[in-house]
A and B are shown apart, each in its own frame.
With several copies, the nearest count.
Chain A
Amino acid sequence: MFKSMFEIVDEPIQVEEIIKKVTRREAGAITTFLGTVREWTNGRKTIYLEYQAYKPMAIKMLAQIGKEIKEQWENTEVAITHRVGRLDISEIAVAIAISSPHRKAAYEANEYAIERIKQIVPIWKKEHWEDGETWIGDQLEKVNYPSGEPPIIKEGN
């Protein structure tokens, strides 16, 4: 069965499945990053999170990140799955797996992937605190269009 490398899912993320997608005979290193729901943030208690995505565009942007990685780090394979809906403490919101012949690229590309997800992928998180709820945005503490341009170069430009 064909498995897409870039997915937005409603169900709990199975890490082994995502690792399998990038496992290859040429790979000597596989890094994964799991973003999990943390209970405490700046002294405030989270009860659960809710993620919403603009799904078709989010998948496109994840694929875009994969493309950027393959351009920057030779012979890497990339799989990213982001979950949406309600997530309880310790559940996995995002899983990134990168394989490469050597470990340096696998670490670097993985960290690049999560940074880019936080910049360009249309997914939003709503924190449900003990004492209220709020949509989180602008985590990077940057204004929009900091460069006056959207955060990716469109094809053909």
Chain B
Amino acid sequence: MITVLLFAQLQEVVGKERIQVDASELTVTELKEKLKSKYNIPQVDQVMTAINEEYALPDDLITSGDIVALIPPVSGG
């Protein structure tokens, strides 16, 4: 099981703060495809991803138990 955290506009579009994805291993890109087909979030291509609080690359592997965050363009400061 992979936990996916949502923030800002993504949280509002999906209506949830987190999604549980039933998978044991997949890449960031694969996860994004999965989320696109299951939820109506086209923005998912334009967000960065963090795995366990570290920024990740599209080919990075996510394994069961990981916490993934979808990170829309940040606007702090």
Contacts and interface: CB of A to CB of B under 8 A. Distances in A.
A binds B: yes
Interface size class of B (residues with CB under 8 A): 20 to 34
A114 interface: yes
Interface residues of A, number: 37
A139 B50 contact: no
Interface in A54-109: 54, 56-58, 60, 82, 93-94
Given A52-B8, A144-B47, A150 B55 contact: yes
Q: Label chain A's interface by main secondary structure.
A: mixed
A124 B77 CA distance: 9
B73 A138 contact: yes
20 contacts: A58-B76, A94-B76, A118-B74, A120-B55, A122-B7, A122-B71, A122-B74, A124-B72, A124-B75, A135-B12, A135-B72, A137-B72, A137-B74, A137-B75, A138-B73, A144-B73, A145-B48, A149-B57, A150-B56, A154-B54
